[in-house]
Structure formats: C-alpha cells, structure tokens
Amino acid sequence: MAPTLRLYNTLTRTKEEFRPIDPGRVRMYVCGPTVYDYAHIGNARPVIVFDVLFRLLRHLYGPEHVVYVRNITDVDDKINARATERGVSIRQVTEETLRQFHEDIAALGVLPPTVEPRATEHIEEMKALIERLVASGHAYVADEHVLFHVPSMPDYGSLSRRPLDEMEAGARVDVAPYKRSPLDFVLWKPSKPGDPSWPSPCGVAAPGRPGWHIECSAMAWRHLGEVFDIHAGGIDLVFPHHENEVAQSRCCFGTPVMAKYWLHNGFLQVEGEKMSKSLGNFVTIRELLATDRFGGRSWPGEVLRLAMLKTHYRQPIDWTVRALEEAEATLKAWTAYPEFEGADAAFAAPVLEALADDLNTPKVIAELHALDREGERRALASSLRALGFARALREEVSLPPELVDKIERLLAVRRSARAARNWAESDRIRDELSALGVVVKDNKDGTTTWEVAR
C-alpha cells in the first residue's frame, strides 16, 4: 500500500495530507530560471528538491498522470542589461543561458519537466489576463503602465501573512508617482527603445512588455488551468512574487486559491556565509561540475544531488566542501556494489515512507544507510535509481572537465533530437559518443545516463 503523502503547505502553515484535485492529472508549477547567466548552486536547490517530488508523484499517481510545469523567464531587465554589456543580441543571451542551464541540471540527474514554457511565447495569455483585471477593477492604466491595484483585493497578503502596514512601509521607499497605492505592482510597462516590446493591452499606445509576476500567472493558467495542485519555489519568492501571482490569478478567475498547496525550499549559504558576488563565495553549478573553484576540484553531479538532499528542503542548507566529500564517499560505496548495475528504479518501502512525509530526505538517506548495513543491496540500488542517481561513481574514472562538458553537450543535443523523434540524429550522436568511449543508456524512467566503456 502506498503511504499517504503529506506536504507542508505555506498557505496554511501546516503539514497536510495531499489530495489532488484530479488524481488523473496531478498538476505542479515551479518558478524557473531567468536566463541571463549561469545558474548558481542556490538555483539548483528547488530544481533538485522538486524533481524528487516530481518522481514521487509519478510513482504515486503514474508517470502519465503528473503534469510538471517549470517556466523559463526569457524577458527581463537583467537579460537586456547583460546583452548590452556583452554586445550581443538578447536572443543570444537567452539561448546560450538556457542551453547551459539544461546541461547543468541534466548532470544533477534532474528529469525534464512535462512542459517548459517560455514567457515570450505566452504574451497573448498575459495580455488577456491583464485586460480581465482592468475590466474587473483590479488593475488600472497609468503613465503607459498597467498596475495591479492591491487595495482592490481585501485579503491580499494571505500567503506571506505580512501585515499590510509593514508591506506598505517597505514599498514606500521611492514610490513611482503614477501608483495609486504604494503596494500596487506592475503588470505591464513601456519598453525602452531597443528592448523587446509587444503591442500593449488596455489601449496603451506605446509598445511594452510584461512584469515578471504576470508571466507565471499566465503560463500556469495556460498549462494547468485556473486552480491547480502544487505551486513551488524558493522561500525568497513568497513575497512579493508568489503573493502577486496569487493576487493576479485569484482576481482574474474569482477563485479562493491559485494552487491548493504552496511549497517553499529554504535558503542556501556557502561555508556558513550568505552567498554573494561581493563576498567572492558565489558558485555556479557549472563551476562545481567542471572547474576547481570549490574545494580545489570538480564534483560529479550525483554528489551535488546527494549533498543537496542531506538537508531537509525547508531547512536552510550550508553548502560545504566537507559535505560534498562525505556525499561522495557515501555514493562511491553505494554505487560500487554490482547490484547497482542494471538495477530498475523502485523505492524501498521505508524510503518511500520517509519521502511521503513532506520529502524527508535526511530520513531517506538514513534508511539507505540502514539498507546498506542490513545487506539489502538490491533494495538500496533500486531506491538510488528511483531517487535519480543513475551513474556509478568509480575511483578509476577521472575525465577532464572539458570532455565531460563535451559529452553533456552532445547528450543535450541528443535529448532534443529524441524529443523531436529524430531517431537518426539520436543514433548518430550515440555513435559519436561511442567514438569518445562513452556508452549511453536510455532508462525506463525517461532519463539518459552514460558511462565510460570499460
């Protein structure tokens, strides 16, 4: 019997039994990256944590009954600024960054989401929502902007539970003169010359572009409907991003909630300090995978994955060299057993039970150690596969990072070819990898793994 899934819901501040609106179509939305630079290791946390949830939901409801949407924000001031800085087109910045992101997270053993919508491909949906908000009195046009009017929603703030006066005090610093209320936020704004722009909604003459919050409301609506099951992201997104998504979607559709369950992962710090560029401890996934920036060496993606799961997702995590070394030693021992080769993905009962308890991954890892102690190597191997650990860590294999980079890049191209059912191209890349001494394996769970031929 499958255990009852319980999840901590930020909306109610309690751990609740998960009851999907439709068990035949369980729907989850996770806020994805803004593509302007390499993703840092803090960005990897929600990607890994909610990948584990995706795998668990697929196990509990059947892979074909779970829809996981993780968006791409490809229109943003930071992207425009980066393009100008580098003297390249905006499209070049977004395409390059997106490719890097896909390569990086594939190395972390992350399944592709069911849908990966791009903001720039959902402008019409955003405009439709904005028109509705203006028509229903929840938004207004001012100085070529369209703004959401926060006082029009009596229970604004119910997700973050911040007192209104506190939010207002925070917003009062440097309030734009066209705002009716300091908390009012941008749904649509005019574009500077040369920046991406679209014909504006609501009779605004100047071309413009969407605000960040409306992007997620529109993409979630398009792919998951007016109300869906799970909305997740980092804890830093609760206010204002998620609060504003809730306001937009609920006021558009007149629904009591946008999503039934809101999940948030905790902060990540590095060696006991907040990660920041100014402190010099800012570390990207790519640097961990392919350079010696952290701890004087590179780290396999699986090690990063295990290290991330050693801390419960809601707790703050301290990212340390020592934790990576420990994770590597553990994983090396577990994946060296012959049972790991060719094991099918299946959660052992105690592992599944720990996962179902609000993704208690520290307990999961304790249970894996217990299986190891008890000599239950087949159950250990199957559980590791089910948790997304696909590649064996071997002492003797030490590839130069450039080669790993090249392999991952080829695999990313092959994944796109396979998604497009271009089997000839997929086979051609398999041969090219084979020539590099790399054996590719397509697993039943949809992942592709590789190893060096022995």
Tell the smallest beta-carbon distance from residue 6 to Zn ion (Å). Answer: 24
Are the C-beta atoms of residues 425 and 386 closer than 8 Å to each other? no
- 404 contributes a contact to Zn ion by CB under 5 A: no
Tell the smallest beta-carbon distance from residue 39 to Zn ion (Å). Answer: 16
Q: Which residues contact 386 (CB under 8 A, 6 or more apart)?
A: 55, 59, 345, 346, 347, 351, 445
Tell the smallest beta-carbon distance from residue 73 to Zn ion (Å). Answer: 8
In the bound state with Zn ion, the residue whose beta carbon lies nearer, of 233 and 300, is 233
Contact pick of 108, 216, 230, 331 for Zn ion (by CB under 5 A)? 216
- 246 contributes a contact to Zn ion by CB under 5 A: no
Helix spans in 175-299 (H): 212-224, 243-253, 285-290
Report the 3 state secondary structure along 281-294. CCCEHHHHHHCCCC
Tell the smallest beta-carbon distance from residue 219 to Zn ion (Å). Answer: 8
Distance from C-alpha of 177 to C-alpha of 181, rounded to nearest angstrom: 10
Distance from C-alpha of 234 to C-alpha of 75, rounded to nearest angstrom: 20
Helix (H) or strand (E) holding 318: strand 317-319
In the bound state with Zn ion, the residue whose beta carbon lies nearer, of 31 and 167, is 31
In the bound state with Zn ion, the residue whose beta carbon lies nearer, of 64 and 236, is 236
Among the residue ranges 23-31, 174-182, 192-200, 390-398, the one whose residues contact Zn ion (CB under 5 A): 23-31
Q: Please tell me the count of residues contacting Zn ion according to CB under 5 A.
A: 2
As beta bridge partners, residue 190 has 208
In the bound state with Zn ion, the residue whose beta carbon lies nearer, of 31 and 288, is 31
Q: Please, what sign has the CA dihedral across residues 273, 280, 239, 262?
A: negative
In the bound state with Zn ion, the residue whose beta carbon lies nearer, of 48 and 258, is 258
Q: Which residues contact 381 (CB under 8 A, 6 or more apart)?
A: 334, 337, 339, 340, 343
Tell the smallest beta-carbon distance from residue 220 to Zn ion (Å). Answer: 8
Which residue's CB comes closest to Zn ion? 216
Distance from C-alpha of 76 to C-alpha of 209, rounded to nearest angstrom: 9
- 90 contributes a contact to Zn ion by CB under 5 A: no
Residue 14, classed as helix, strand or coil, is strand
Among the residue ranges 27-35, 265-273, 317-325, 430-438, the one whose residues contact Zn ion (CB under 5 A): 27-35
Among the residue ranges 12-20, 30-38, 260-268, 304-312, the one whose residues contact Zn ion (CB under 5 A): 30-38
- 219 contributes a contact to Zn ion by CB under 5 A: no
Tell the smallest beta-carbon distance from residue 309 to Zn ion (Å). Answer: 23
- 356 contributes a contact to Zn ion by CB under 5 A: no
Q: List the one residue out of 26, 27, 189, 202 whose CA is nearest residue 131.
A: 202
In the bound state with Zn ion, the residue whose beta carbon lies nearer, of 90 and 216, is 216
Among the residue ranges 58-66, 86-94, 212-220, 285-293, the one whose residues contact Zn ion (CB under 5 A): 212-220
Tell the smallest beta-carbon distance from residue 29 to Zn ion (Å). Answer: 8
Among the residue ranges 53-61, 214-222, 254-262, 289-297, the one whose residues contact Zn ion (CB under 5 A): 214-222
Tell the smallest beta-carbon distance from residue 218 to Zn ion (Å). Answer: 10
Distance from C-alpha of 210 to C-alpha of 218, rounded to nearest angstrom: 11
In the bound state with Zn ion, the residue whose beta carbon lies nearer, of 31 and 351, is 31
- 31 contributes a contact to Zn ion by CB under 5 A: yes
Report the 10 Å Cβ neighbour count for 360: 17
Q: Which residues contact 78 (CB under 8 A, 6 or more apart)?
A: 34, 36
Helix (H) or strand (E) holding 406: helix 401-419
| Residue ranges binding Zn ion (CB under 5 A) | 31, 216
